[in-house]
């Protein structure tokens, strides 16, 4: 090895080069997670809104280009003649994430790595991780340091000499992450069946249970109450359908993959890198496992061929279900209704909704309206609130915090706390906690995001956990915890703030406008909540505001102005569940 600095990709290469004289940290998360001080951070992949806009436009073009080529290659490999729409739906949003995650790895190392300036290490190909589906891929390459090293190893293999004197082969403990098995929650019919002992009603329920549905619901996170109501009102023509997963495994053939992708069209350096990623990182589901999956899911689709519509929310992050819905549409003309789940994505730069619209037949929003005719203003059947009241605890402020993942899962400003946004997110909450009074600090119950074993940015430097009233133990649900609080503070934009607002719990949202970039057409989307002081775009001002009101939060929250603005925002953007049930019934 030379006297060059060692190029550090993750904790794995950090351990490999722990005795090296000098280190270059390629991603700032490594310093945060490993508590390394005094090493200059590398350039961020994206530093401002302009960088995001540029990459969103570039990646939209790459996605469309790669999708077209991939459909042709997969048709040839699998001796099929499926339409472009079939492959678009089959590959689903998982392929978009595959492109985005791969691009981030490419840009990171393109900006920072030079083989003449660094000593570096690469994994042996025998140690590479192969993903079964796109969910495995995200787990392996956004949340697993071995995946980070594999990206870099493919980058070096693509552009440089892995036999150079300053390159060493590194090994890692097998820390492949298993994708949690999916559970079917389609037990609603059993629950209906058990609610009565009356014979007449049992006959009625039997009629509903055994009636062949026209609208099948697959992995949609509707509340039990709304499910029961929809099944009964439709007289069994709308109901849950059990979806069974193919558990077959397969063996990867690298030589076959190289031959498959040898004619992949390349116009720039990323295209060249991406072709090699297809060889080593593309899920086995569509190559080695395709025939098994197709036979398995075609048989399952045949048993549901009488459906007119398939309703699914979960397909967004489910390769198997995307593939199955594509078969239903291609073979049996079953149309797909997507019922937007439980948070807003459409206001943000880089959102996926227009792409989703192009993959489904009906897009029902959770309530917001659009000039774009592909969206139908509707409602969600998710349980945003619970039907019980718990007296507020005047001595407790619940702080609900995001899991700040060290890598992006996609270039989408709806995820304003991950990847290169992590530093801005952490600084924002640090400034907030630095400016709240001790009286407020000592009232806070901290509720972090549940640990899924993924790599997240630590918050020890942002929050003095020893000063908090307590750290939540998850003995009750998030909604129950909200109802037990005098105030809820939330530091990210997802489901929690809608739950809190809909239950009319006093709420402050920390709104970092340097990471949650809004599209121009939606730049005023949150204006009413900003005016009501619910959305706070300055961490210092948020702290000062809470310091001022924490002794009498009700005077602010239940004031006419605050309540009018809250209700106005919700009425414009959140629909009534009964309305979307009526919409489903109109499709029968």
Distance CA 241, CA 215 (A): 9
- Residue 534 and residue 509 in contact, taking contact as beta carbons nearer than 8 Å: yes
Is there a domain that residue 63 lies in? no
Give the pLDDT confidence score for residue 526 in this predicted structure: 98
CA 134 to chain centre: 12
Is there a domain that residue 72 lies in? no
Give the pLDDT confidence score for residue 38 in this predicted structure: 73
Residues 195 and 231 in one domain: yes
Is there a domain that residue 223 lies in? yes
Residues 353 and 441 in one domain: no
Rounded (10°) CA dihedral 133, 67, 302, 226: 70
Question: What is the CATH number for 321?
Answer: 3.40.50
Could you give the number of structural domains in the chain?
A: 3
Residue span of the structural domain in which 276 resides? 6-48+92-180+260-282
Residues 265 and 297 in one domain: no
Contact partners, residue 304, CB within 8 Å, separation at least 6:
216, 241, 310, 328, 332, 334
Give the pLDDT confidence score for residue 353 in this predicted structure: 97
Q: Is 511 helix (H, G, I), strand (E, B) or coil?
A: coil
Phi and psi for 509 in degrees, rounded to 5? -110, 125
Residues 122 and 12 in one domain: yes
Residue 536 is classified by DSSP as E
Is there a domain that residue 76 lies in? no
Give the pLDDT confidence score for residue 148 in this predicted structure: 97
Q: How many CB atoms lie within 10 A of CB 66?
A: 22
Residue of 428, 531, 564 lying closest to 489 (CA atoms): 428
- Residue 313 and residue 223 in contact, taking contact as beta carbons nearer than 8 Å: no
pTM as predicted: 0.93
Is there a domain that residue 84 lies in? no
Distance CA 509, CA 497 (A): 7
Give the pLDDT confidence score for residue 204 in this predicted structure: 56
Is there a domain that residue 81 lies in? no
Residues 426 and 371 in one domain: no
Is there a domain that residue 61 lies in? no
Residues 242 and 273 in one domain: no
Distance CA 581, CA 378 (A): 9
Residues 477 and 559 in one domain: yes
Residues 347 and 407 in one domain: no
Give the pLDDT confidence score for residue 467 in this predicted structure: 96
Residues 13 and 154 in one domain: yes
Residues 244 and 118 in one domain: no
Is there a domain that residue 79 lies in? no
Distance CA 463, CA 431 (A): 10
Q: Which residue's structure tokens are 């190893």?
A: 153
Residues 152 and 208 in one domain: no
Residue 419 is classified by DSSP as G
Residue of 114, 147, 129 lying closest to 7 (CA atoms): 114
Residues 377 and 465 in one domain: no
Give the pLDDT confidence score for residue 557 in this predicted structure: 97
pLDDT along the chain (588 residues), means of 10: 87 93 92 85 84 96 97 97 97 97 96 94 94 97 96 96 89 51 47 49 62 93 92 92 94 96 95 97 97 97 96 96 98 97 96 97 97 95 83 83 95 95 96 98 95 90 96 93 95 97 97 97 97 98 98 96 98 96 95
């Amino acid at each position: 090895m030379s006297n060059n600095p060692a190029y550090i990709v993750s904790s794995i290469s950090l351990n490999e080069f722990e005795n090296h004289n000098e280190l270059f940290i390629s991603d700032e998360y490594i310093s945060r997670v490993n508590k390394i001080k005094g090493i200059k951070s590398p350039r961020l992949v994206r530093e401002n809104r302009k960088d995001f806009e540029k990459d969103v436009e570039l990646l939209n073009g790459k996605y469309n280009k790669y999708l077209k080529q991939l459909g042709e290659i997969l048709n040839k490999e699998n001796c099929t003649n499926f339409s472009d729409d079939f492959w678009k739906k089959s590959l689903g949003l998982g392929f978009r994430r595959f492109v985005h995650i791969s691009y981030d790895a490419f840009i990171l190392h393109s900006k920072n790595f030079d083989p003449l300036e660094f000593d570096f290490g690469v994994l042996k190909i025998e140690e590479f991780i192969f993903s079964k589906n796109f969910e495995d891929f995200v787990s392996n390459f956004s949340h697993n340091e071995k995946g980070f090293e594999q990206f870099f190893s493919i980058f070096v293999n693509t552009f440089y000499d892995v036999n150079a004197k300053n390159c060493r082969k590194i090994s890692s403990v097998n820390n492949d992450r298993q994708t949690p098995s999916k559970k079917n929650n389609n037990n609603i019919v059993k629950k209906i069946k058990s609610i009565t002992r009356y014979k007449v009603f049992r006959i009625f329920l039997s009629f509903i249970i055994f009636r062949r549905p026209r609208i099948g619901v697959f992995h949609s996170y509707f509340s039990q109450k709304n499910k029961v109501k929809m099944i009964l009102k439709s007289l069994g023509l709308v109901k849950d359908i059990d979806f069974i997963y193919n558990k077959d495994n397969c063996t990867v053939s690298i030589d076959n993959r190289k031959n498959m992708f040898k004619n992949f069209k390349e116009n720039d350096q990323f295209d060249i890198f991406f072709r090699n990623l297809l060889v080593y990182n593309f899920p086995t589901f569509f190559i080695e496992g395709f025939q098994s999956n197709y036979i398995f899911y075609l048989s399952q689709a045949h048993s549901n061929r009488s459906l007119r519509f398939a309703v699914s929310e979960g397909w967004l992050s489910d390769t198997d279900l995307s593939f199955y819905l594509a078969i239903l549409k291609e073979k049996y003309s079953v149309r797909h209704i997507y019922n937007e789940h439980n948070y807003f994505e459409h206001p943000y730069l880089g959102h996926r909704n227009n792409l989703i619209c192009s993959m489904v037949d009906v897009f029902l929003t959770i309530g917001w309206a659009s000039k774009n005719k592909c969206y139908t203003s509707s409602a969600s059947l998710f349980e945003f609130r619970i039907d019980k009241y718990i007296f507020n605890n005047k001595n407790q402020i619940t702080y609900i915090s995001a899991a700040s993942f060290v890598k992006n899962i996609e270039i989408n400003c709806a995820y304003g706390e991950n990847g290169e946004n992590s530093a801005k997110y952490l600084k924002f909450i640090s400034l907030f906690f630095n400016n709240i009074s001790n009286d407020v600090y000592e009232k806070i119950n901290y509720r972090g995001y549940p640990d899924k074993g993924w790599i997240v940015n630590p918050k020890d430097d942002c929050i003095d956990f020893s000063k908090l009233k307590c750290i939540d133990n998850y003995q009750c649900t998030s909604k129950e915890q909200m109802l037990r609080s005098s105030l809820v503070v939330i530091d990210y934009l997802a489901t929690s703030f809608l739950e809190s607002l809909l239950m009319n719990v006093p709420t402050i949202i920390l709104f970092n406008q340097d990471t949650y970039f809004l599209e121009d057409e939606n730049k005023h989307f949150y204006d009413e909540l900003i005016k009501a002081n619910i959305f706070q775009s300055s961490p210092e001002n948020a702290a000062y505001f809470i310091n001022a009101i924490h002794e009498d939060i009700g005077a602010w929250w239940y004031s006419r102005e605050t309540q009018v603005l809250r209700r106005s925002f919700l009425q414009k953007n959140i629909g009534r569940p009964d309305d979307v049930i009526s919409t489903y019934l109109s499709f029968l």
